[in-house]
Amino acid sequence: MKPKQLNDRIWQAKGRPLDDDALAEVRATLGVTPLRRDLLIEMLHALQDRFGALHARHLKALAEVVRLSEAEVFEVASFYHHFDIVKEGEAAPAAITIRVCDSVSCMLAGAEAVLARLEGLVDADKVRVVRAPCIGRCAEAPAALVGRNSVGNAHAVRLAALADAGAVEPALPAYADLAAYRAKGGYALLADCLSGTRTPESLIETLSNAGLRGLGGAGFPAGRKWGIVRSYPGPRLMTINGDEGEPGTFKDRVLLEADPHRMLEGALIAAHVVGAERIYLYMRDEYPAVLDILAREIAALDAAGLTRHAPIELRRGAGAYICGEESAMLESIEGKRGLPRHRPPYIAEKGLFGRPTLNHNVETLYWLRDILENGAEWFASQGRDGAKGFRSFSVSGRVKQPGVKRAPAGITARALIEEFCGGMAEGHRLAGYLPGGASGGMLPASMADIPLDFGTLEKHGCFVGSHAVVVFSDQDDPRAIARNLLSFFTHESCGQCTPCRLGTEKMTTLLDAPVIDRDLIADLDHVMRQGSICGLGQAAPNPVASLLKFFPEAVR
């Protein structure tokens, strides 16, 4: 079509012209994918997987296909760290990307040395090296991703060799598939629930008596949550938060790489109890093997007819820690930027697509079968010091045997290290620990005998959160650790609210100053806690507050 003539001047629409070849490529890439707004992030993944990046011409064509503005497609794509946008005239990134984790556990294990050495070993035209926030392999620090291939105990020569060989896809670990899980009684409990042998009311009562709480960090009683969601009129939905991006946390990955159906059966039971008609499973992109396992096993569940009452949709994150916050995760599932919502209303009343929504963490659902088969008393009796149940502690840092430790709730850090981790690493003496990942604060060795459970650490300005315990020793610098944690929050702030967006940057500047201005830090701390929309900004000052309170010798 020729451009229109208007007053002897050529008229045409503003903006980038639509490229017919790009339009054809986008349509071919999407195939039969439904052109729904909430699948926008899945479409962006499909394009990046095929073309290695998101090219401007494809974003324009995608906007045309899904009937959205180009600006809206661009703002979603640019929000997530794992999407590489290539503007017109720019060179595409190298075909292979090595992401080296520089979060706290990997920092302690020498990630900086790996990064420095790696730059001189790879061909920059073929391999790109970038820093990455926690990738959930803290027990194998330092860790990296070569393409989609997760590498623990990484050193520069090995990473360069893997990239050179094109070893960029994950090798799936041995795990219990559907047949193996059913051979050991799996899904019999779901059948009892669906048949009415076990009523929703009895299940809620059992969970409440067992004391099961949300194990993603908030610790809200699971049975109570089910009752609240059931109280709102349907239709209802369910979400599973698999975006465990908290530095030091990797328990959900380990559980899913070994026994995914224990969580999936728990999810299908929970959906039945609250009357959720669909389940959305949001899994972080940093777990490629888990994503592949879940895709396989959900397809197997569909084929076996086990998801008829609540089909499961697997959604792939794109590298944004903020999407671990439940309302930000819902925004991402809806195909938007992962910006936390103001509350109220809470998502139990108005959640995904405006419907009442039950949201659970992976580990919470993982425990359902054990509790319902063994009884509430069995689970409740497992804790220590008045706490109830087991916990999967992610332990990393200066211990002999890091990893996921199934231990009693209420265990102390000292007992966890001695009884489950083989003690401190050779040549290291306990100096302190993070009881709840990056946001849970820092405590000195003199406070290693406090029970680790919800409500036991808050009076000290800390919390157990996702039960990620990072141990450091007398050979580590507490100030450097606090600086690393604060840098993570600065990088991961979504930017929606000023106290968090600017506060994290300003706090970093104050921490880096030769002389610490405690009064100014205290003022900024108050503003961030009181004015931030979500937990990221509210908890970001915790490492610095703990440093000043418990490690004064590190900031003199």
pLDDT at 17 (0 to 100): 87
Select from 277, 270, 253, 272 the least CA-distant residue to 145.
253
SS3 for 371? helix
pLDDT at 375 (0 to 100): 96
Q: What is the pLDDT along the chain (556 residues), one digit of tens a residue?
A: 444 554 544 445 566 789 999 999 999 999 999 999 999 999 999 999 999 999 999 999 999 999 999 999 999 999 999 999 999 889 999 999 999 999 999 999 999 999 999 988 999 999 999 999 999 999 999 999 999 999 999 999 999 999 999 999 999 999 999 999 999 999 999 999 999 999 999 999 999 999 999 998 889 999 999 999 999 999 999 999 999 999 999 999 999 999 999 999 999 999 999 999 999 999 999 999 999 999 999 999 999 999 999 999 999 999 999 999 999 999 999 999 999 999 999 999 999 999 999 999 999 999 999 999 999 999 999 999 999 999 999 999 999 999 999 999 999 999 999 999 999 999 999 999 999 999 999 999 999 999 999 999 999 999 999 999 999 999 999 999 999 999 999 999 999 999 999 999 999 999 999 999 999 999 999 999 999 999 999 999 999 999 999 999 998 7
Rounded to whole angstroms, how far apart are CA atoms 488 and 120? Answer: 26
Residue pair 47/76 in contact by the 8 Å Cβ criterion? no
- Burial class (CB within 10 angstroms; exposed 0-12, middle 13-18, buried 19+) of 112: middle
> Is-above-0.85 flag for pTM?
yes
pLDDT at 217 (0 to 100): 85
Instruction: Scan for tokens 């497609």, then name that residue.
Output: 73
Who's near 513: CB < 8 A, 6+ residues apart?
none
pLDDT at 415 (0 to 100): 98
Q: How far apart are the first and last CA of the chain?
A: 72
Residue pair 394/406 in contact by the 8 Å Cβ criterion? no
Give yes or no for a cis peptide into 344 (omega within 30° of 0). yes
HEC assignment per residue over 495-547: CCCHHHHHHHHHHHHHHHCCCCCHHHHHHHHHHHHHHCCCHHHHHCCHHHHHH
